[in-house]
Structure 1
Amino acid sequence: MVAGFRAFFATFLVALATLITVPAAAGTLQCAPFARQVSGIDIHGNANSWWGQAEGRYDRGHEPRVGAVLAFAASRSMPVGHVAMVSKVVSDREVLLTHANWSYRGGIERDVRAIDVSANNDWTDVRVWYGPIGGLGLRSNPAKGFIYASAPKAAEPMPVRIASAETSGGAALRTAF
């Protein structure tokens, strides 16, 4: 019986280690540098500033996509916000996140569940898996939306009307781009 328990416990520890990795480097790994590294979105500073910094540099929206960064807003429990990369879209209301410094100080969590609990289905209120309780967190967290790794699309050029030299008074116009 004791040998069976020890084998089970050893297997459990190995499985747990694959979900949570503590960085080998000194210091504590934070969510923003980790999200920047895994997503390729080159934004610096506290997580609560990412949404504003992304404006005009990266596409933003409220649809989950693999590789996008979910930007959480600052709140009383998260004064500097949080950022996490979407590793899988399960449905329009559920994703798997890969992020750092959420359940465990400096720890990395891969493919943890997050669900949209917002009234408007726009990912502005999110519940995230929390390791110490082994399930979704007890509270929801405010979010701004998703930052996509692509640059925003340029606006269509406006046509410019040029008067033809062959017409008098510009009656005939030619469109140029």
Structure 2
Amino acid sequence: MQKRARTLLGSLTAALLIGLVPVGVSAEGYWQCVPFARLMSGIQIFGDARTWWSQAVSNKYETGGTPQAGSVLCFKPTSRMRLGHVAVVSQVLTDRVIQITHANWSIIEGDRGQVEKDVTVVDVSPGGDWTQVKVWYDPVRDLGTTVYPTYGFIYQNAQAVATAAVTSKIALAQDAAVAMAQSAASQVVNTLRPGGSPMGLLGQMADSGDRIAALIAAAAAGQPEAGQPTQR
């Protein structure tokens, strides 16, 4: 009975965690650069990364050669990167060095489609205009040797900023929900005893699931969860 209960708990917990994965990422955690950049920046451009620059102009997003936090660095297609690439600027360190957060760049532990947070990009263009860059490559734990041509930066508009803010709240809620699910699973497993009631186990899990759902719903609505103080 105890073994069967543990198996049931593992299956239900896995289903719960898969349900918490954001839209655009598979259950295996494989991200493409475009949906990830769109989600994190709030810039609502679709299609291959190589088309983002031309679309930005027609969609009335401002563009330029100066990095700003929250903007999207748009890479030109090359023979090795035919679809181009997009990455979100997370921090501007100097006029020639930034940090980006992006997806599907480095091969990490043998897998593609990974997210890399706050990795270094250096402007190596002769004119200092960010038209040529080198990017951190995780397998060598340093900047890669390849020089990549870029179009420049696509800047967030007011709507993009608002969308990114909502995404951030939901992401925080999801992180809290995952931690809560892990804690609940651990507590339930630790309290299992031979002869325990399966219905009691499911009841505890249902209570945890309701709590997690309420947490995410409150974040999506931009309101504090019931019983939580409003932040100032």
| TM-score, normalisation: structure 2 | 0.54
- Equivalent residue for 1:85, pick from 68, 85, 88: 88
Gaps of 5+ in 1: 1-22, 152-177
Task: Report how far residue 122 of structure 1 moved.
Answer: 0.8
Task: Report how far residue 28 of structure 1 moved.
Answer: 3.2
Letter in 2 for 1:106: G
**2:51 corresponding residue in structure 1:** 49
Structure 1 residues 96 and 44, CA gap change in structure 2 (3 angstroms):
same
**2:152 corresponding residue in structure 1:** 145
* 1:63 aligns to 2:69 (yes or no): no
Deviations along 1:111-166, one digit per CA (max 9) or x if unpaired, are: 00000000111111010000011000011101000000127xxxxxxxxxxxxxxx
1:83 is paired with a residue whose SS is strand
Q: How many residue pairs are counted as aligned between the two chains?
A: 129
Tell me, in whole angstroms, the C-alpha distance in 2 between the residues paired with 1:24 and 1:147: 27
Higher strand share: 1
- Percent identity reads 50
**2:120 corresponding residue in structure 1:** 113
**1:160 corresponding residue in structure 2:** none
2:40 is paired with a residue whose SS is helix
2:44 is paired with a residue whose SS is coil
Structure 1 residues 88 and 27, CA gap change in structure 2 (3 angstroms):
closer
Gaps of 5+ in 2: 1-24, 159-232
* 1:74 aligns to 2:81 (yes or no): no
- Equivalent residue for 1:130, pick from 137, 146, 149: 137
| TM-score, normalisation: structure 1 | 0.70
Q: Which of these two proteins has the greater Rg computed from alpha carbons? A: 1
Task: Report how far residue 29 of structure 1 moved.
Answer: 1.3
Higher helix share: 2
Task: Report how far residue 24 of structure 1 moved.
Answer: 5.9
Tell me, in whole angstroms, the C-alpha distance in 1 between the residues paired with 2:27 and 2:96: 35
Deviations along 1:50-109, one digit per CA (max 9) or x if unpaired, are: 000000420000000000000000001110000000000001100000000000211000
Tell me, in whole angstroms, the C-alpha distance in 2 between the residues paired with 1:35 and 1:59: 16
Point out 4+ residue stretches in structure 1 off by more than 6 angstroms: none
